[in-house]
Each structure stands twice: as C-alpha cells, then as structure tokens.
Amino acid sequence: SEWGHDFRPEYMQIGELLEQLPGARVLACTATATPIVRDEILERLHLPPETPQHLRGFARPNLAFRVSET
C-alpha cells in the first residue's frame, strides 16, 4: 500500500522510534484503512500481528452534510 509513503515520510520512522521506547503505549487511528493497510501499519510500527484492533462502522449519526445556496 501507499500508507504514509508520500503523505508523511516521517511516519515510516515511527517503528524505529518505538523500538527505542520499550513499553511505550501506541494508539494508531484511521478511518479509512483496508485490512491490508491495517496489517502494513502494524508492520511499519513494529507491532505484532496479534495487536488488538477495535473496529467500528462508518455510520456517524452525529455528523450531517448540508448544502445552502449562497
């Protein structure tokens, strides 16, 4: 995937940083990652595949889209 390769090259270095911080807690949030991209994120962060993932649906009833003529 192209996760972070162009958008933020620095993201590719997070895994190396985490290796220097043993015991650091990690929270990685995304609203659009496919299962393949989520696997790559774990790999890039040097996290084990069994790292817990909390997945939710995309429905957000608290958000609305309104078009107004100006």
Written as one letter, the residue type at 43 is E
Domain presence at residue 33: yes
Domain presence at residue 2: no
Digits of tens for pLDDT over the chain (70 positions)? 665 566 677 888 889 999 999 889 988 888 888 899 899 889 989 999 999 999 888 788 898 889 999 8
- Between the alpha carbon of residue 34 and those of residues 26, 38, 45, 63, 70, the distances in Å are 19, 6, 16, 22, 38
The token pair at 65 is 């889209």
The token pair at 35 is 């299962």
Domain presence at residue 17: yes
Write out the residue range of the structural domain in which residue 24 sits.
9-44
Domain presence at residue 57: no
Domain presence at residue 39: yes
Which pLDDT value is given to residue 1? 62
Domain presence at residue 35: yes
Q: How many domains does the chain have?
A: 1
Task: Write the DSSP string, 3-14.
Answer: TTTTT-GGGGGH
